[in-house]
Structure 1
């Protein structure tokens, strides 16, 4: 544990964040962090239990004099996105996050930090543990598997929560109050293909794209960051239009909700064209790097000689795949007409796997408008079906419809203005918050979302602002004092 982090203010929050980050907590492998939270609640002698899907609920009575206030449900998710730099030696299944201080930021050493949503979890733990903070009756809801399907929120039973107000602590700009979010759907395209043996007169190469910023495929999708899968496909398409090549394999991206930072492919070119190919490749790669030079300063595109693979794709399947990925939309699809500067609909081509006769392409489509989400999903489905793929939709979750007349919104706006002498931004976000699902289970609960400033979520550049955590904590305490 980094002792310097324990000295940061508010110390109680940073202490609990450090304890949480010592527990491995990958999505769908939350057994250890679930037990950690159960032990935490039991150690405080609070009502603590786990529901049927693994969500943890802890309740704390009100401070003296606040017993007649409405119970507040404080909600954050336990799991975190696991991303690391290719050169970082780290095992997310067994190791705790290694943190460091960088000016006003806390970040991790070559991995995601887990501030998304660990800072929210740590703040809730601190409220439950405190003995000198005024608050109404509290109910903590720690959900599982938010990052890979929101199955914890989806599996929450409709009769468990008792709170009348829900504070979701899972947004990433401390001057924003969130009242809405996008829904999403996973789109998976798959097919098989015939392999053909590689002729011995070929030269084999590995193409490596890395060093991209990556980031959150919802919150960062409008920033124009490079998508390693699209850049790799662009290169392969260009090469195949100029040379007779065979693709042996492609491995790009990782998580559905992270903009792909790296991609690696293996190709075979006729040995007689080796010199010409290498010269043109440098030109093509240089043009792409120049095009992205403002946003992707650390991007590298490498070409390495390797030994010949045994098999490559049959040519017609190869052409179909390259055309389908080229045609498939990636990035912002439409902007909201109702809310200024809000991305309405987008897609992230998150994962491309090709090899051993199988193709797998995974996308995450988001939208705050259901019909637009389905429109883009059908567009992607059509592109991949034309390439001979079977396409499945899964993991669908609803958006959260904004309520500008929310009572708790009025409280947050008033308290923010009083504390910080400025007007907060009331927004909807393009991320997938659990509020949309929770609102279906509890349609009468008054929901709001806010949090400290976090940058680079879902990437190894993830970091949380130290001064912002202090601001967030101060804001949260005032909200608890002033709820009806």
Structure 2
């Protein structure tokens, strides 16, 4: 299907997207895509270099007559979120993304697509290799590890970039212009637990939760989507009190910035409770599915007998775990008082692992207000410490404070109205864009973010709208034509 995608308009963008998607590019394993981008810049005889942390910078002189315009830094990240359906056989470390066209959308075959942020990368590549598009002096900044810590943006030193204006191409609705974003922090809870031998007369079950939508833990957190970790914990908590079940293992969720879609657990109980347990389990599963049927129509909760494990978690430690996860806040915590309909603070209970005497729980807490971010993180820490866990904070990054008086915004707003006959939505988003981090070392750089329409990011349902890419490309080219001259406000 790659050939069909390459034939889409604008061909220059889709061709580069297909080339990029042929390169495995998981976060923290970007060696191949870094080399791919270094080779790309060198093939164009453009100034190309890599900084100390692995970000790639490529510079292209202005076209004739635009030499006096301000330098523009075009920025997107090279890494992508790796998620796949359980029944999809795919190795992200060795395979390129398998794409196909579905009406006005490009999708992937059972995996994430990489449109976040591959479409931005592809558009920048198309500009760098063009010989006909008019533009000011350009500087492409391809950052690494945006999805799992933003270490590329954090590691970029001051004084490297020449741009006075930064266009971040990582927004996911084509009628939005982003002028602010949330910061985030990872909250990780860990502890050991005692195990006891399984007694005679016991039976084991495997519980599977799947079919949830999942999605971006920032942009989709307000949708009320199901969280597989919280659903599994609810099932466990109820049945532990009623039937004295014991947990052998739990494996729920994956990446901290993806709403958990799946969870699997092995539990043990007395064989003489089997019939009543199965009946009541099905009743609660039905209740949960009915609660979520509007937003999660494909939710499946299954129960099947399985091989009996040798050991299970002891009763006291199990009780602390289940109460801790039950009490941990998940979803929207506060809405913004200053920006209408903006989620201010949220948490995603992203990962729950219980196995071989070890518990690990991972959360991503976000907020556009740094003090509120830390307040919720401290609340989670207190919750998990009451459950006997050691709690650490890591990967913290700042938000991007909105500037409604931005000079480049005064270019983008009327340009959008002129091209598309309607006003754009000027917003701040609850995702983590790199602008806030970059602004720490480049405080005078005027920043803005926009992009094509991408739905289902961070999930195997990720898709990018073809007509929206055409709109985005037209908009980007028109913006570059109207970049102010050096010295202009």
Give the distance between the partners of 2:39 and 2:353, measured in 1 at CA: 40
Matches within 5 A, 1:55-94: 55-94=55-94
Report the counterpart of residue 446 of structure 1 in structure 2. 446
Q: Distance in 1 between matches of 2:8 and 2:100?
A: 12
Which residue of structure 1 lines up, in the alignment, with residue 389 of structure 2?
389
Secondary structure, aligned partner of 1:388: coil
Secondary structure of the 2:304 match is strand
CA–CA distance in structure 1, aligned partners of residues 310 and 160 of structure 2? 57
* Partner residue in 2 for 1:361: 361
Q: Pairwise mapping of residues 431-442 of structure 1 onto structure 2 (< 5 A)?
A: 431-442=431-442
Following superposition, the deviation at residue 460 of structure 1 comes to: 0.1
Q: Who is 2:329 aligned against?
A: 329
Deviations 1:273-331 (A, max 9, x none): 11111111111111111111111111100001011101100100000000000000000
Per-residue deviation, 1:241: 1.4
Tell me, in whole angstroms, the C-alpha distance in 2 between the residues paired with 1:61 and 1:426: 31
1:135 corresponds in structure 2 to 135
Shift of 1:159: 1.1
Give how far 1:271 is off: 0.6
Matched residues in 2 for 1:171 and 1:411: separation? 18
**Structure 1 gaps, min length 5:** none
Q: Give the Cα separation in 2 of the matches to 1:272 and 1:246.
A: 15
Q: Distance in 1 between matches of 2:243 and 2:258?
A: 32
Q: Distance in 2 between matches of 1:7 and 1:305?
A: 50
Give the distance between the partners of 2:54 and 2:330, measured in 1 at CA.
Answer: 34
Deviation at residue 355 of structure 1 after TM alignment:
1.0
**What does residue range 199-210 of structure 1 map to in structure 2 within 5 Å?**
199-210=199-210
1:200 deviation in Å? 1.8
Q: 2:155, 2:203 → 1: CA distance?
A: 52
Distance 1:89 1:307 in 2: 25
Separation of aligned partners in 1, 2:200 and 2:215: 41
> Which residue of the partner structure matches residue 148 of structure 1?
148
Partners of 2:3 and 2:141 in 1: how far apart?
29
The Cα shift of 1:3 comes to 1.1
In 1, the alpha carbon distance for the partners of 2:331 and 2:17 equals 33
4+ runs deviating over 3 angstroms: none
Structure 2, unmatched stretches of 5+, are: 485-489
Partner of 2:487: none
Structure-1 separation of matches of 2:79 and 2:3: 24
SS of residue matched to 1:407: coil
Structure 1: how far apart are the matches of 2:390 and 2:425? 43
Taking the aligned partners of 1:340 and 1:262, their CA distance within structure 2 comes to 32
Q: CA deviation at 1:157?
A: 0.8
What are the residue-to-residue correspondences of 1:284-299 with 2, within 5 Å?
A: 284-299=284-299
Q: Does 1:243 align with 2:243?
A: yes
Q: 1:7 deviation in Å?
A: 1.2
Tell me which residue corresponds to 1:196: 196
Bigger Cα displacement from structure 2, 370-379 vs 470-479: 370-379
Q: Secondary structure at the match of 2:408?
A: helix
Tell me the distance in 2 between the aligned counterparts of 1:235 and 1:48: 54
Aligned with 1:142: secondary structure?
strand
Shift of 1:201: 1.0
Q: Which residue of 1 aligns with 2:51?
A: 51
Partner residue in 2 for 1:476: 476
Matched, 1:309 2:325: no
- Asked if residue 282 in structure 1 is aligned to residue 282 in structure 2, the reply is yes
DSSP-derived class of the 2:17 partner: helix
Counterpart of 1:271 in structure 2 is: 271
Aligned to 1:15: 15
Deviation at 1:116, TM superposition (A): 0.1
RMSD: 0.5
Cα distance in structure 2, aligned partners of 1:148 and 1:248: 29
Q: Equivalents in 2 of 1:421, 1:277: separation in Å?
A: 60
Q: Kindly provide the CA deviation profile for residues 30-83 of structure 1, in whole angstroms up to 9, marking residues without a partner as x.
A: 000000000000000000000000000000000000000000000000000000
3-state SS of the aligned residue for 1:126? helix
* 1:213 aligned onto 2:228: no
Residues 310-354 of structure 1: CA deviation (Å, up to 9, x unaligned): 110010000000000000000000000000000000000000000
Please give the alpha-carbon distance, in whole angstroms, between the structure 1 residues aligned to 2:249 and 2:355: 5
Aligned to 2:29: 29
Whole-Å separation in 1 of the counterparts to 2:163 and 2:279 = 65
Shift in Å at residue 414 of structure 1? 1.1
Give the SS at the match of 1:208.
strand
Shift of residue 126 of structure 1? 0.2
- Which secondary structure does the structure 1 equivalent of 2:329 belong to? coil
Who is 1:109 aligned against?
109
